Amino acid sequence: MTNIENTKKQNSKTASADISKSLKDAGVQAYLIHGDMHNSDLYYTTNFLASDPFSYMLTADSDEVLLISDMEKGRAEIESRVLNDKIKTTSDYKYRELAKEKKDASLAYVLVLKEMMTEKNIKSVGVSYEFPAYYYDKLKTEGIEIVLMKSPFTKSRMIKNEDEIEKIAASQKAAEDAMAAAISMIQKSAANEKGELIFGGEILTGKAVLLEISRVLLEHGCADDETIVSCGKGSADPHGKTYGALYADEPIVIDIFPQSKYTRYFGDMTRTVVKGKASDELKKMYEAVKGAQEIGVNSAKPGATCAEVHNAVCDYLENAGYDTYRSGAKAGFIHTTGHGVGIDIHEMPSVSDNEHILEPGNVITIEPGLYYPEIGGIRIEDTIVITKDGCRNLNIMEKKFEIDER
């Protein structure tokens, strides 16, 4: 056995994940995934990425096969966690000949999938709701029983191991460095007579801050497709963005959730700042959100339910005089308290009104906010890891509302 094979055998994770109960409940022998580098389950199960679609199948007794194109074989043998004797190429099943014979590349791939399953004596498979409709239909025509089901990896993906936590922490560090750079730009700016912030002799825009965030994240090897910088009344939209001028004395919400280009794991954090003087109402809102966020972090521990954490946050905000999500409010705290973070930016568990019991290895955000269209928005967010005796906050950056140049 080669050194690479030895390393794979030692580091193999998903092959030992028990999905047999999920498959039994669905009445199938195996689970089949087909997708590309954007399919999170596919990366989770194989630790392999490719721009062109490929497939992976895991059976109830933990047998597996990774099906790729010939051009990806060498890379898959080095990079994927699947043992080399479980890696198959389409040419192993005469894909090119079938495509030429059938004059239909998609049908040829279906026949390859069928042969791959027949080789494993698999007659029934579960697939995700996103599985290609054409493949679904043709596999049924070919005599394969195929069942749509929720991912059997949802539960195992909720519990992060130490390696995964380290990857999330690295992305979180990138987010903190980018946040520091963004806040520094705002802090060093000055207001003109219109209240617009001026930095480096030019109007400081949300777009300029976004570009600075992107620059810092890229230095950390991270991508940032949907970073949020929003100012003033626009910040009352939780996902709103301000590309134009940023203003003094107005709330500026900065939400950064980078994904590592190398590990694929996300980080997530939010800070809200004001350059200059905040109104009394904004100060009151900020203190309420900050207190609620602290309550949420302190409530997140093994044995607590997501509902208990969410309700603790809502209780705090309601006691401070604000409406919340659980009462159906259209303004105030209008979203859930948080979400899981991992290969996807939004994973299970949802920190909302549900009875999921938190356990060590859950990585979640705590991000209460208050949003009023005539005033603006406030949000503070940290990403935390549930530990055996509480939680560990992956954020160390201070939470300061009013900022001035130091």
DSSP assignment of 308-321 equals HHHHHHHHHHHHTT
Contact in structure between 254 and 395 (CB atoms under 8 Å): no
φ, ψ dihedrals at 122, nearest 5°: -100, 125
Q: What per-residue confidence (pLDDT) applies to 225?
A: 84
To the nearest whole percent, how much of the chain has pLDDT over 70? 96
What pLDDT is recorded for position 276? 95
Question: Quick check: 2 pLDDT over 80?
Answer: no
Please give the structure tokens belonging to residue 162. 């130490």
Task: State mean pLDDT over 144-168.
Answer: 96
pLDDT for 194-219, tens place per residue?
A: 999 999 999 999 999 999 999 999 99
pLDDT at 18: 84
> Does the domain made of 159-403 have the CATH classification 3.90.1150.10?
no
Which two tokens mark 161? 């191991």
Q: For 296-331, how does the pLDDT look when each residue is reduced to its tens digit (9 = 90+)?
A: 999 999 999 999 999 999 999 999 999 998 888 899
Span 5-23, average pLDDT: 63
Locate tokens 């698999």: which residue?
A: 122
pLDDT at 135 (0 to 100): 98
Q: Just give the CATH number of 3-157.
A: 3.40.350.10
Residue 50 sits at the vertex; the CA angle it makes with 44 and 56, to the nearest 5 degrees, is 50
CB atoms within 10 A of CB 164: 20
List the chain domain ranges: 3-157, 159-403
Tens of pLDDT, residues 112-132? 999 999 999 999 999 999 999
Q: Average pLDDT for residues 94-109, to the nearest whole number?
A: 96
pLDDT at 405: 65
Q: pTM for the full model?
A: 0.93
